Structure 1
Amino acid sequence: MNDSGQFYYEIIMSASMPVKVVMIILILASLWSWLIIFSKGRVLANAHNKAKKFEEHFWSGVDLNKLYEKISTQKNTGSALIFEAGFKEFKRKQTVKSGGIQSIEGSDRAMRVALSREIEKLESSLPTLATIGSTSPYIGLLGTVIGIMLSFHALSDVTQATIALVAPGISEALIATAMGLFAAIPAVIFYNKFSDKVERIYAQYDAFKDEFSAILHRQIG
């Protein structure tokens, strides 16, 4: 460990217990946010790639009945799940001869439900990331306030106050603030980035749903 690392380590280890508790909370919050960041990044990237791959296959001119038979035996997500839900309902309505309009309405409802559930899955954990990003600076500030209060309280037991007496307490207090920012900044950045990605994926799913619904309309026209 270099001199700088040793310096910060000694400050953290010599911190008062309330400030240590705040630091531990911030370390755990930072670790939690990075776990979410890595896992959610993979999930969103996979969702985008799978949707793109399925839609390329869909628009390649494949027979819809054969495509449905192929994917109905698989565990689908994204655009494939929306297609499966919509076409399944369309075929069911056609089988019971409930009419063209009813077939399209039922298919649209099924696709909307599937789309909503997919977006709900993609948005999971994002509120946690937002909470970490918004609360960590205040938790760090709480540690700062506690550290400074304890430092000045210690001066009541001495006859002559010097900067050397309060410097360690103020140092640990400022480190608590820095740790709060360290936990908050990545959480805020990636929350905004992932929210934008979810919006883009939603637009991709919604556009596919509308285009597929138009195809079904032409089939009963």
Structure 2
Amino acid sequence: MGFRNLERKETRKTYFPNLPNEEELDLFFSPLERIASWFPTIASLSMLLGLLGTVIGINTAFGEMEAQGKVSLEILAGGIKDALNTTIVGLLVAIPSLFFHRVIENKIRYISELIIKDHTKLQ
């Protein structure tokens, strides 16, 4: 079906010939909302995994410095590079996840409003 089809009045009238009640709308959009609810979870987990990688990378760098008994930029650089790479990957997953969650939420709200407007005299 798709959102674009639901933006067409003819398609909405096919699915909702009469004004749906709130329960019917909730049931209709429930599969989409269930999928959309995973996006914030994915974003949160990816940020936390990125943070965990950062902590592990810095811990590794300090562990190597301790093992060698000296502080050196070369030793520190490898661990910090790994730490930053995991942070980057976490953010590259989190940012689009939150963006698409908002897009889907707003699209569901917009289509719901169109369905209600189709059956009201306030057009």
Same-fold call, TM > 0.5?
Answer: yes
Structure 2 residue 4 is the aligned partner of structure 1 residue 45: yes
User: For residues 132-154 of structure 1, what are the alpha-carbon distances to aligned partners after superposition, in whole Å with 9 as ceiling and x for unaligned?
Assistant: 22332222011100111111112
CA contact (8 A) 1:82 1:209 kept: no
Match of 2:32 in 1: 122
Alpha-carbon distance between aligned partners in 2 of 1:121 and 1:208, rounded to the nearest angstrom: 23
Question: Is 2:116 the counterpart of 1:203?
Answer: no
Change (3 A) 1:177 1:168: same
List alignment gaps of at least 5 residues for structure 2: none
Contact kept in structure 2, 1:82 and 1:115, CA below 8 Å: no
Alpha-carbon distance in 2 for matches of 1:173, 1:46: 45
Amino acid at match of 2:10: K
Equivalent position of 1:157 in the other structure: 67
RMSD: 2.1
Q: What TM-score, normalized to structure 1?
A: 0.49
How far, CA to CA, are the matches of 1:156 and 1:125 in structure 2?
47
**Structure 1 runs, 4 residues or longer, greater than 4 Å off:** none
Which structure has the greater CA radius of gyration?
Answer: 1
Partner of 1:80: 14
State the TM-score, normalized to the length of structure 2: 0.82
Shift, 1:130, TM fit: 1.8
Write the deviation string for residues 68-124 of structure 1: whole angstroms up to 9, x where unpaired.
xxxxxxxxxx542221xx4xxxxxxxxxxxxxxxxxxxxx6xx32432211223323
Aligned letter for 1:156?
A: E
Which position in structure 2 is the counterpart of 1:142?
52
- In the TM superposition, what are the counterparts of 1:1-221 in structure 2 within 5 Å? 43-49=2-8, 52-54=9-11, 78-83=12-17, 86=18, 111-112=20-21, 113-210=23-120
Contact 1:119 1:198 in 2 (8 A): yes
| Pairwise CA distance, 1:206 | 1.8
Counterparts of 2:67 and 2:79 in 1: how far apart (Å)? 15
The higher relative CO (CA closer than 8 Å, separation ≥ 6) is in: 2
Percent identical pairs in the alignment equals: 28
In structure 1, the gaps of 5 or more residues are 1-41, 55-77, 87-107, 212-221
Distance 1:124 1:43 in 2: 16
